[in-house]
Amino acid sequence: MVSGGERIRLVIVDDQAMLRGALAALLELEDDLSVIGVAGDGAEAVRVVAETAPDVCLMDIQMPGVDGITATREVRAAHAGTRVLIVTTFARPGYLRAALDAGASGFVVKDAPAEQLADAVRRVHAGLRVVDPALAEASLFEGANPLSEREQQVLRLAADGRSAAAIAAEVFLSPGTVRNNLSAAIGKVGATNRAQAVRIAQDKGWI
């Protein structure tokens, strides 16, 4: 229980409505936790946090539109009093590093026991950092994301099979520059082609 008997005020962000409801129901069972808002994507998360000023925001990563990493950065920049706890299915070292760099205070996976999640919320609220131990260990061995921001961008766009010309039109670069970035990305991740580079980067949470 927080001091004075006040509840820790939470906002839950996840693009799956059923999961949002389940998390809210579980956390509301705790005497010292109160869910005061929910959001289905990163852009809505920023709005809801602005409206409710929660103590802790539980943030998913992979969401349509504004993703959880970007939303975490925006929430922390605009509302320093709100701490962010990443709660995700995707336990990837690259995501952990990106989340912490964006200002998150913790990173746990969705299959963690309910009591463990509640404890993570309390610890983050108290100013501590909480990271899934297995993921923290994996992150040490994986190293930092080798891709530049531009390389990450073009590789994400290449994931659905679009051509260099199509990517170039979207990011306002020449097709040659896009091909150069794709080639650099392929080399940096140790792939032999674009499709393999996308798979490797996604698996490691680099894009």
Q: Do 40 and 132 share a domain, yes or no?
A: yes
pLDDT of 96 > 50? The answer is yes
* 183 lies in the same domain as 159: yes
Decide: 87 and 58 in contact? Cβ < 8 Å: yes
Give the residue numbers spanning the domain of 169: 149-204
Q: What is the pLDDT of residues 140-170, one digit of tens each?
A: 556 677 888 899 999 989 998 899 999 999 9
Closest CA to 55 of 38, 73, 80, 77: 80
Q: Quick one: 131 and 196 in the same domain? A: no
Question: Which tens digits make up the pLDDT trace of 39-69?
Answer: 999 999 999 999 999 999 999 998 988 999 9
Look over the chain and give the mean of its residue pLDDT values, rounded to a whole number: 89
Asked if 88 and 183 sit in the same domain, the reply is no
User: Of 95, 116, 141, which residue constitutes the final position of a domain?
Assistant: 141
- Looking at the structure, do residues 169 and 196 belong to the same domain, yes or no? yes
Q: What is the pLDDT of residue 64?
A: 87
CATH of the domain at 183: 1.10.10.10
Residue 183, CA distances (Å) to 149, 180, 192, 200 in order: 14, 5, 10, 14
| Distance from C-alpha of 173 to C-alpha of 48, rounded to nearest angstrom | 35
Shared domain for 68 and 86, answered yes or no, is yes
**Are 129 and 106 contacting, i.e. CB atoms less than 8 angstroms apart?**
yes
What residue has token string 């896009």? 178
Same domain for 127 and 28? yes
pLDDT value of residue 1: 46
| One domain, residues 87 and 111 | yes
153 and 136 in one domain?
A: no
What secondary structure does DSSP assign to the chain, as a single string?
--GGGPPEEEEEE-S-HHHHHHHHHHHHTSTTEEEEEEESSHHHHHHHHHHH--SEEEE-SS-SSS-HHHHHHHHHHH-TT-EEEEEES---HHHHHHHHHHT-SEEEETTS-HHHHHHHHHHHHTT--EE-HHHHHHHHHH-S--S-HHHHHHHHHHTTT--HHHHHHHHT--HHHHHHHHHHHHHHHT-SSHHHHHHHHHHHT--
| 90/168 same-domain check | no
Domain count within the chain: 2
Domain identity same for 32 and 114: yes
pTM for the structure as a whole: 0.68
HSE-up (13 A, CA, CB side) for residue 165: 0
Residue 130, domain CATH: 3.40.50.2300
